[in-house]
Structure 1
Amino acid sequence: MSKIRTQKLSNANVKLPFKLKILLIAILPIIAVSALTGWLIHIGANSLIEVETRLIEKRILDFRQQELKNYISLARTAIDQDYVDETVDIRVAQKAVQQILHNLNYGDDGYFFAYDRKGTSLVNAPSPDLIGKNIWYIKDEDGKFLIQDLMQKAVNGGGFTNYIWNKPSTGEKTLKLGYSIYLPKWGWMLGTGLYLDDIKQQINSSRADMRASTRKAETILFLVALLAVVVTAIAVAALHYNEHKLADEKLKALTRRIVDVQEEERKRVSNDLHDGINQLLVSVRHRLELAIDHISKPDKALPLMNKSLSILDTSISDVRRISKALHPSALDNIGLAVAIRELGSDFEESTQIETQIRADTIGNRLSETAKIAIYRVVQEALTNVVRHANASVVQIEMKVDDDNKIVTLKIWDNGEGLKTPDQPSSGNGLGLRNMVERMESQGGNLSIRNGVSGGLELIGLMPQV
């Protein structure tokens, strides 16, 4: 089952259009980098938000603590006259201080409280029912002995205590920050506090603002990534269009060249048939007509018949030559190496140009189309030697390299060589370009250059099957 699934997946991948593959190769890195950047920004922003939240909370608490100290300082100033006056009865002074503290308040929930050393409530404006009661052992919802804690902080020079207490404006138990000092003359603990629920609201509001900014940055990043993807897609589409257009132009040019080559080949075959075989057959026909006229005169008819036979032999040779030029049947019968030797021998015989050939047996190392390509390259090279090289010697070498799995073809002549370095790709180098394209069409390559000792040198490499 897993093999079937793997085959289905591989088939699906193979069926992807080339354009889509290029698009995915271009877009996927952008998406991956954008996603990674967005994730890092998200993680970093959350971490930064937490750090900033703690800093904001600390600044607010520092401000509130200073605010509580200021309120206690104001309360101490308000009661100081009665507290330090030794001429007034202590009970009277304490009653006056209690009244002053009862009347002091700030905001909706700001008030002062006082307890003696035993934990008896002396001042608590929002909760008058607690006055005179001992709540030394009272605990808040977190299990803290809050009066004892406030007293200890006060005796130790003043300090802050977090505890849960009823909020007057809502009647709900709320976290409160208390600050207490000690009045040693009377053994009282004087304190006040601020409820911290508004601090949470401020922190949550700040956190929400920062998260909104983060989401805005992430949205901008997403839009930028989306724009990059769209631009990349457009660029890939434009590139694909240009490549397609260029490929169409090259295909049209190649088609024109193929047509030109076909027309040239047809013209050559037509000329060979018209100028060679046709003339020979006409001559045979004429001589046969004369032989018929002189059939009663054997001494005149016999030379005409012999001449006709000779002409027919020449015609047969021409037909074979043209047939060989159209398709090298020798490859099917005697193999590539022998066919090249035979081609060189015929070339030397017809042109009187010395032709040296060393060719290894190929066997089944090359495909039939690759053998034909090499044969055509040799054939075209010899044609070029006759037409353009003005050479007296041609060397052809075909070697088998089984270690590197290639067949090497070298053709050299001692003629004039290339007049310009770019001649193989120029407009007049159709034959040379054809040779290069023949080799490349079979997975090989062909280099064309001037030889070290002069002339033209062709080196071709064809991979073995």
Structure 2
Amino acid sequence: MQKAPTTKASDMRGNLPFKLKILMIAILPIILASTLTSWVIHIGANRLIEIETSLIEQRILTFRQKELENYASLALTAIDHEYSHAQVPSQDAKQAVIRILNNLNYGNDGYFFAYDRSGTSLVNAPTPELIGANLWYIKDKDGKFIIQGLMKQAINGGGFFTYRWNKPSTKTETQKLSYATYLPKWGWMLGTGLYLDDIEQQVVAFRSDMLKEIRKAETVLFLVALLAVVVTAIAIAAVNYNEHKLADVRLKALTRRIVDVQEEERKRVSHDLHDGINQLLVSVRHRVELAREQLGDPVKAKQLLTKSMAILDTSIADVRRMSKALHPSALDNIGLAVAVRELAKDFEESTRITTRVKTDPIGDRIEETAKIAIYRVLQEALTNIARHSKASHVDISLTIDDTLNKVTLQIADNGIGLKNPDQVPHPDGLGLRNMAERMESHGGTMSIRNGNHGGVELIAHMPQI
């Protein structure tokens, strides 16, 4: 069984249409830049969220600590008339303070608690079953001695202590922050606290809001990048469409022009055949008939035949001229250098413009099609000189430069030159543009400029094989 041919990735890449390559070159930087920007924004936003969340949590905690201190201060104020005015520890005063503290509460889970120096619970409104119980050695899930930690902060002048405790509203053990102060005259620790799950909920809500905003920003950035990609693709497609349309228009115009030139050439050849060779051949036929009628008079017959021979020579010359114009057969027979000299000689004879030629033997340094291209460029250049330059002298050189590995054709005249040195051929014309395209089709180059001493200078370079 024969294996199915496989297509290599490199072949696929090499066969990508030029339009797709341009599209990828235009769009890929946008995609890469957008991706990199999104990644940087995502990393920076997450870091900012962590920092802001930490700051918000710290601010809320600081606010709640200040709030606990204020609540403790209010409680001390509420019991001050019982605690401060009692000269000695009075059971009645203590009971009054306990009642006051049990009745003090705030929010859903805000209450006050009190313990004596041994850790016995004195005040705890949400859990009255703990009253009278000694909780000195009670620990939370983290292994912290709760009452001992609170008592230590209270004796040291009042402070905060974090531990885990049952939340009255949910009946679940939750992280709690308490503030404890000390009543030295009675040896009591008085405190209040708040549960930190509320802070966690606020922080989570804040983080969620920030994440939503970040996601919105990332979505907007993605949409902007997508819009840029779409706009770029549409712009490239529009430019490509316009280029295609313009190229089609130019191609149609060029095709029409080529057809017109072909028709003009056929018409010219037809006129040359009809008005030139045909008339000459008719004249020869007429004279031959006369000569046949004058066979009895050898002198007249000879004159007629001699004139007919001269007309035939003219016809032969016209045929050669037409053949040479249609195809430079001299290239096939005598080589490019000699063909250039013959073309220059014919040009000088037909235009009376002095033509000086310098040629090097080209041999096989360039291809035959390249030789034809150089010959046609010279033909077109001489035609332009005859029509437009008003020159009286032309220099033609065909030289070889083995150092640069090229053959150079240089044509210079002493005519009126270019009105604008930077002028370009008319887009509908085939003269100069055809000359340049002939050279470029073989890897060569052509330039036209005003000469240093007037006139126009054409330089064409053709690479050697």
TM-score (norm 2): 0.89
Q: Percent same amino acid at aligned positions?
A: 69
> In structure 2, what is the equivalent of residue 31 of structure 1?
31
- Taking the aligned partners of 2:228 and 2:181, their CA distance within structure 1 comes to 65
How big is each residue's C-alpha offset from its partner over 1:86-127, in whole Å with a ceiling of 9 and x where there is no partner? 435444433332333233222222222222333232322233
> In structure 2, what is the equivalent of residue 244 of structure 1?
244
The reply on whether 1:16 has 2:16 as its aligned counterpart is yes
Map residues 3-402 of structure 1 onto 2, 5 A cutoff: 8-295=8-295, 297-402=297-402
SS state at 2:94 partner: helix
**How far has the Cα of 1:264 moved from its partner?**
2.9
How big is each residue's C-alpha offset from its partner over 1:299-355, in whole Å with a ceiling of 9 and x where there is no partner? 444444444344333323322221111111222333322321232233334444332
Q: Which segment is superposed worse, 237-246 or 361-370?
A: 361-370
**Mapped contact 1:410–1:458 kept (Cα < 8 A):** yes
- Taking the aligned partners of 1:91 and 1:243, their CA distance within structure 2 comes to 104
**How far has the Cα of 1:282 moved from its partner?**
1.9
- Taking the aligned partners of 1:70 and 1:285, their CA distance within structure 2 comes to 139
How big is each residue's C-alpha offset from its partner over 1:381-418, in whole Å with a ceiling of 9 and x where there is no partner? 22233334343321111233344444322101223334
Question: Quick one: which amino acid aligns to residue 359 of structure 1?
Answer: T
Q: Which segment is superposed worse, 67-76 or 368-377?
A: 368-377
**Mapped contact 1:424–1:448 kept (Cα < 8 A):** no
Could you say if the C-alpha distance between residues 230 and 432 of structure 1 is closer, same or farther in structure 2, counting changes exceeding 3 Å? closer
- Taking the aligned partners of 2:226 and 2:41, their CA distance within structure 1 comes to 17
Could you say if the C-alpha distance between residues 449 and 191 of structure 1 is closer, same or farther in structure 2, counting changes exceeding 3 Å? same
Unmatched tracts of structure 1, length 5 or more: none
How big is each residue's C-alpha offset from its partner over 1:350-377, in whole Å with a ceiling of 9 and x where there is no partner? 4443322222333444343332221111
Question: Quick one: which amino acid aligns to residue 54 of structure 1?
Answer: S
- Taking the aligned partners of 2:460 and 2:270, their CA distance within structure 1 comes to 32
**Mapped contact 2:408–2:460 kept (Cα < 8 A):** yes
- Taking the aligned partners of 1:151 and 1:112, their CA distance within structure 2 comes to 14
Could you say if the C-alpha distance between residues 453 and 123 of structure 1 is closer, same or farther in structure 2, counting changes exceeding 3 Å? same
TM-score (norm 1): 0.89
SS state at 1:425 partner: coil
Unmatched tracts of structure 2, length 5 or more: none
Could you say if the C-alpha distance between residues 200 and 6 of structure 1 is closer, same or farther in structure 2, counting changes exceeding 3 Å? farther
- Taking the aligned partners of 2:8 and 2:427, their CA distance within structure 1 comes to 49
Could you say if the C-alpha distance between residues 100 and 240 of structure 1 is closer, same or farther in structure 2, counting changes exceeding 3 Å? same
Could you say if the C-alpha distance between residues 78 and 260 of structure 1 is closer, same or farther in structure 2, counting changes exceeding 3 Å? same
> In structure 1, what is the equivalent of residue 407 of structure 2?
407
Could you say if the C-alpha distance between residues 188 and 419 of structure 1 is closer, same or farther in structure 2, counting changes exceeding 3 Å? closer
Could you say if the C-alpha distance between residues 370 and 60 of structure 1 is closer, same or farther in structure 2, counting changes exceeding 3 Å? same
**How far has the Cα of 1:156 moved from its partner?**
1.6
**How far has the Cα of 1:20 moved from its partner?**
3.3
- Taking the aligned partners of 1:424 and 1:116, their CA distance within structure 2 comes to 108
**Mapped contact 1:423–1:429 kept (Cα < 8 A):** no
How big is each residue's C-alpha offset from its partner over 1:437-460, in whole Å with a ceiling of 9 and x where there is no partner? 433444434333332212222122
Could you say if the C-alpha distance between residues 10 and 404 of structure 1 is closer, same or farther in structure 2, counting changes exceeding 3 Å? farther
- Taking the aligned partners of 2:287 and 2:464, their CA distance within structure 1 comes to 54
Q: Which segment is superposed worse, 238-247 or 442-451?
A: 442-451
- Taking the aligned partners of 2:146 and 2:5, their CA distance within structure 1 comes to 70
Question: Quick one: which amino acid aligns to residue 183 of structure 2?
Answer: L
How big is each residue's C-alpha offset from its partner over 1:160-205, in whole Å with a ceiling of 9 and x where there is no partner? 1111111111111100011111222222221111011111111111
Question: Quick one: which amino acid aligns to residue 336 of structure 2?
Answer: L
Could you say if the C-alpha distance between residues 437 and 181 of structure 1 is closer, same or farther in structure 2, counting changes exceeding 3 Å? same
- Taking the aligned partners of 1:5 and 1:463, their CA distance within structure 2 comes to 39
RMSD of the TM alignment (CA)? Answer: 2.8
**Mapped contact 1:82–1:93 kept (Cα < 8 A):** yes
Question: Quick one: which amino acid aligns to residue 222 of structure 1?
Answer: F
Question: Quick one: which amino acid aligns to residue 221 of structure 2?
Answer: L
Tell me the number of residue pairs that the alignment of Structure 1 and Structure 2 aligns: 462
Could you say if the C-alpha distance between residues 168 and 387 of structure 1 is closer, same or farther in structure 2, counting changes exceeding 3 Å? closer
**Mapped contact 2:370–2:442 kept (Cα < 8 A):** yes
**Mapped contact 2:257–2:428 kept (Cα < 8 A):** no
- Taking the aligned partners of 1:420 and 1:191, their CA distance within structure 2 comes to 101
